Amino acid sequence: MNIGFVSTRLAGTDGVTLETIKWARTCRDLGHSTFFCAGQLDPEISPGVLLPEAHFTHPEIVALHQKCFGVHTRTVETTDQLHELRGRIKTGLAGFVKKFAIDLLVPENALTIPMNLPLGMALTEFIAETGIHAIAHHHDFYWERQRFMINAVQDILDAAFPPSLPSIKHVVINTPARRELAQRKGIAASLIPNVFDFDTEPPAMDEYARDLREQIGLKPDDILILQPTRLVSRKGVEHAIELVRRLKEPRAKLVVSHSGGDEGLAYYNWLRELAQAEGVDIRFVANRFSETRKFDEQGRKLYTLWDIYPHADLITYPSIYEGFGNAFLEAMYFRKPIVVNRYSVYMLDIEPLGFETVAMDGYVTDDVVEKVRHVLSDPELRKQMADRNFTIARQHFSLAVLCRRLHNLIESSEHTPKEEL
């Protein structure tokens, strides 16, 4: 089959892009051809069609977003703009499907979270009109985000985020989302967790990355505590700051690898002030990282996320909410000990599998601090935890798991004639 992935953007290292790449790779391994349509496409994500209006940062989309959320009503002009953009995007989608003779569409979060309302509307209408088979891959729903609760587009959210259409199969990444989707929409969904390539050994530290600690201002004997997430409030980075403060270890440095993304600088500024007030050495090093290794305009090395993991002594993952937990899988892959807040998806889908972590329940306790001290001081314990966790993760969250589940979904779509829909 020719399978077309559609999203707002397929670029960078956000969770949707990373999982899309894994799905596409798996589809190719199963013998299918893959194509891409988005408002932004990394060069290696090809062949595809660039559809600028599909990006949530497109000026017209941003303007519409501001008119539709945080308010209770919308104007006739706003409705007209929504439908005008829907029509333009639908024309682009039709061109994409025709150009690559697409048999199966895979909307990646585009029918899930309303970062781009006209894109969701266009996909829904196009699928309804053509009866094309689709697998809607849902990462995080609008009802999971406080900022979408007040809106003037509930009619559109009800119809398109996600739509209930006979030719669409739905996939969620966690158990709570599966339950909530059934309760809210009466839609049954398959569960496919986020996965990782545990069958390929992680890259060893090489000459390029060997000086990373020095480049970000750390000494050889410093304890590198890595927070490998974006700077958004639901990541709970303040708990990592609290942990480092209470360790009372001058060598402990909290290193944050990502920027704030699309949610502004307020949280970053607050964290910086908090760390300063608490006397915590925190390093915001997003400007030293890129999707690929290269040099910046000042001639400094830029590293990838994979370059810093081998240097890390401990991973902090104190998220208040996660759709699944890519950073958790990355820590397992690189065999690193992790401090994790017991967010709901972790408790339901990950913790019961038997991972050994330093777990916290919403706040840092003396017990959490003592366990972290013990882990950091005992290399043999760290190795035992890492090996056990790697084995469990490989069993439950490998590409082989994705391959089996995705194969069944695609096969069922392939053998369902449109006239039966």
Q: For 41-70, how does the pLDDT look when each residue is reduced to its tens digit (9 = 90+)?
A: 999 999 999 999 999 999 999 999 999 999
- The mean pLDDT of 263-267, rounded to a whole number, is 82
Whether 267 has a pLDDT exceeding 60, the answer reads yes
Query: What pLDDT shows up at residue 122?
Result: 98
Name, in order, each residue with C-beta under 8 angstroms of 256's C-beta and a sequence gap of 6 or more.
Answer: 227, 229, 231, 237, 282, 283, 284, 285, 286
Q: Where are the alpha helices (DSSP H) in 71-116?
A: 76-99
Read off the pLDDT band of 275 (50, 70, 90).
Answer: very high
For the stretch 335-368, pLDDT in tens is 999 999 999 999 999 999 999 999 999 999 999 9
Read off the pLDDT band of 323 (50, 70, 90).
Answer: confident
Phi, psi of 51 (to 5 degrees): -125, 90
Architecture, CATH, for domain 2-195+399-420? 3-Layer(aba) Sandwich (3.40)
Q: Where are the alpha helices (DSSP H) in 100-194?
A: 117-130, 154-160, 175-185
Distance from the Cα of residue 75 to its chain's centroid: 34
Whether 262 has a pLDDT exceeding 70, the answer reads no
Which DSSP letter does residue 164 get? -
- The mean pLDDT of 287-307, rounded to a whole number, is 93
Write down the residue that tokens 């003037």 correspond to: 152
Produce one character per residue of 39-48: b if its CB has 16 or more CB atoms within 10 Å, e if not. Answer: bbbbeebeeb
Average pLDDT score over the chain? 94
Query: What pLDDT shows up at residue 416?
Result: 61
CA distances (Å), origin 319, targets 116, 167, 342, 363, 368:
25, 35, 8, 11, 15
The CA distance from 84 to 74, in Å, is: 15
Q: What is the 3-state secondary structure (H, E, C) of 8-77?
A: CCECCCCHHHHHHHHHHHHHHHCCCEEEEEECCECCCCCCEEECHHHCCCCHHHHHHHHHHECCCCCCHH
The neighbour count for residue 168, using CB atoms within 10 Å, is 23
Q: Where in the chain are the domains?
A: 2-195+399-420, 212-396
User: How far is the first Cα of the chain from the last one, in angstroms, to the nearest whole number?
Assistant: 19
Query: What pLDDT shows up at residue 391?
Result: 96
Whether 264 has a pLDDT exceeding 90, the answer reads no
The CA distance from 396 to 1, in Å, is: 27
The CA distance from 163 to 107, in Å, is: 12
- Residue 84, SS3? helix
198 within 8 A of 394, measured Cβ to Cβ: yes
Q: Look at strands 294-295 and 301-302 and give their pairing.
A: antiparallel
Query: What pLDDT shows up at residue 261?
Result: 62
Read off the pLDDT band of 33 (50, 70, 90).
Answer: very high
For the stretch 71-119, pLDDT in tens is 999 999 999 999 999 999 999 999 999 999 999 999 999 999 999 999 9
Q: What is the 3-state secondary structure (H, E, C) of 325-354?
A: CHHHHHHHHCCCCEEEECCHHHHHHHHHHC
Query: What pLDDT shows up at residue 417?
Result: 55
The CA distance from 303 to 295, in Å, is: 9
Topology alike, domains 2-195+399-420 and 212-396: yes
Does domain 212-396 correspond to CATH entry 3.30.360.10? no
Phi, psi of 191 (to 5 degrees): -110, 115
* Single pTM value for the model: 0.86
User: Closest Cα to residue 320, out of 345, 338, 353, 337?
Assistant: 345
Name, in order, each residue with C-beta under 8 angstroms of 151's C-beta and a sequence gap of 6 or more.
Answer: 68, 69, 70, 71, 72, 157
Read off the pLDDT band of 420 (50, 70, 90).
Answer: very low
Query: What pLDDT shows up at residue 421?
Result: 43
